[in-house]
Structure 1
Amino acid sequence: MKNPDRTPVNGTQDPQAEPVVRLGCVSRVYGGAKNRVTALDDVSIGLERGTFTAVMGPSGSGKSTFLHCAAGLDRPTSGAVHLDGVDLASLREKALTTFRRERIGFVFQAFNLMPALNVVDNITLPLRLAGTRPEKGVVDEVLEQVGLSGKRRSRPGELSGGQQQRVALARALVTRPAVIFGDEPTGALDTRTAAEVLTLLRQSVDVAGQTIVMVTHDPVAAAYADRVVFLADGRLIGALDRPSVEQVTEQMQQLGTWSESFALRQSGDGVRR
């Protein structure tokens, strides 16, 4: 019988029960005294395993900085980031690079594929550069998962935009990462193709238990997520669970008004947030 609270009998907490991504009082400040910009302002949040989280906010709200700090691409000015139980601040640059390669997947708006390499070689390139190989059968598994089993030897120029983004997703999945971070992964796709890619992301959570954190400006894309969190002026100011497109759109419209009002209130101190 499974332990319902996932706490082992020896009293130690099961690490699988902890948030896979946890930000504690994270701030990120750029510039000096005269041109200080606070991109993140005391952000605290935990993101659960096996969930799909969308991050939204007006332009300049700190979405990309949130993703970069959470994924270990940038170091916070203050606060702590834990990913898969590891305090990222404890890792030096080389160890952090290895950790990102092994435990984190990335999917960007640009597909970032090598045009001279076929699908399989593009998927496995990061592993080969690191001197490792995927586990036996994993490449076939992820190709099946993203619907590209028949395109193994095709090069990117022979694929549609949606198929190229599927290759990028397979590349992110092949290491079985703790988290996949997406930065506007459907921003370069047409509506129908974007829906296909978003459905694949949704299925990777529902079927494979993957954790996904996606920055997006699109309410339709956000509605595929389990939860949408909203940033404005570097602060977390709200969230919606299992939202509709209409709910997300309404919240973003309200955020635009709030952000303009906040900027006016802050204009006297010379700090742009």
Structure 2
Amino acid sequence: MTTEVVRLTDVRKTYGSRRNSVTALDGVTIGFPRASFTAVMGPSGSGKSTFLHCAAGLDRPTSGSVQLEDEELATLSEVALTKLRRDRVGFVFQAFNLLPAFSVQDNVTLPLRLAGKRASRESVDRVLAQVGLSDRRKHLPGELSGGQQQRVAIARALITRPAVMFADEPTGALDTRTAREVLNLLRASVDQVGQTIVMVTHDPVAASHADRVVFLADGRLVGELLRPSAEAVAERMTHLGAWADEQHAGVR
């Protein structure tokens, strides 16, 4: 039986006071198996970002449980939670968030240095080869294309060998061809080295690289597709948008 790396159980997240509260997540239960690639989709305001932030330990849910391997995140102090994110979670965002004065190699090894650890030459060589940047280690981010910069960000996320990588619109700032190259790289990290990836995206083509697409609407999980095609994802999103509009109309 495949081990779940991350497990959310009845997770709720509300913002604001009791009289003016907004429910961003409404009883979400889902698990992410090891060496799997899951895309998370939904209409604007469906709770995708809140979902990612709670699953990754960047935000604490109002109620419910979030487990990363053997750790219950709700029981951890802020210091312990910060250490867990640094050591066991990788992050890739739409903005590359690279330090412009640091070389590719120094950007990649930054998480280890912040943890007071020394990056071995072997580990640096491994991740740079994995993302196809072995010959760019001394370059500065400004000397790279957007796709290459995102590859550096992916290498930085992989250097600690994280239990899970969370990607938030990782191809949103890239052209179609470059986006496909980055998505193929993420797919390969799952298939070849057993990485677990959870990716929030609005793009059906990006989602089609995943093993599974789960759909959020109004803070609730409302369906999933296995082995998705871009066409099937786009069709589901069309219906989901209409459903969300009807739900809001009913509320009014």
Shorter-chain-normalised TM-score: which range?
over 0.9
- Aligned match for 1:58, one of 19, 43, 46: 43
Name the amino acid aligned to 1:43.
Answer: V
Query: Which amino acid counterpart does residue 56 of structure 2 have in structure 1?
Result: A
Does residue 109 of the first structure (1) align with residue 98 of the second (2)? no
Deviation at 1:227, TM superposition (A): 0.2
Distance 1:135 1:49 in 2: 25
The answer to whether residue 17 in structure 2 is matched with residue 41 in structure 1 is no
Determine the structure 2 residue equivalent to 1:85. Answer: 70
Larger radius of gyration: 1
Q: Map of 1:116-265 to 2, 5 A cutoff?
A: 116-265=101-250
The alpha-carbon distance between structure 1 residues 136 and 149, as it changes in their structure 2 partners (threshold 3 A), is: closer
Q: Is the 8 A contact 1:134 1:175 kept in 2?
A: no
Under a length normalisation based on structure 1, what TM-score does the superposition of the two structures give? 0.91
Gaps spanning 5+ residues in structure 2: where? none
Cα deviation for residue 134 of structure 1 reads: 2.7
Distance 1:25 1:203 in 2: 32
1:196 match: secondary structure: helix
Q: Note the C-alpha offset of 1:229.
A: 0.1
Residue correspondences, number: 252
Opposite residue 121 of structure 1, the aligned amino acid is D
Other-structure match for 1:10: none
The CA deviation string for residues 40-86 of structure 1, in whole angstroms up to 9 with x for no partner, is 00000011000000000000000000000000000000100001221
Greater shift in the superposed pair: 31-40 or 167-176: 31-40
RMSD: 0.9
SS at match of 1:207: helix
Q: Secondary structure at the residue paired with 1:175? A: coil
Cα distance per residue 1:234-257 (max 9 Å; x no partner): 000000000101000000000001
User: Amino acid of the residue matched to residue 79 of structure 1?
Assistant: G
SS in 1 for 2:4: coil
Give identity over the alignment, percent. 68
Shift of 1:265: 2.1
Where structure 1 has 5 or more consecutive residues not aligned to the other structure, the ranges are 6-16, 268-273
Question: Counterparts of 1:226 and 1:135 in 2: how far apart (Å)?
Answer: 32
Q: Which amino acid aligns with 2:92?
A: V
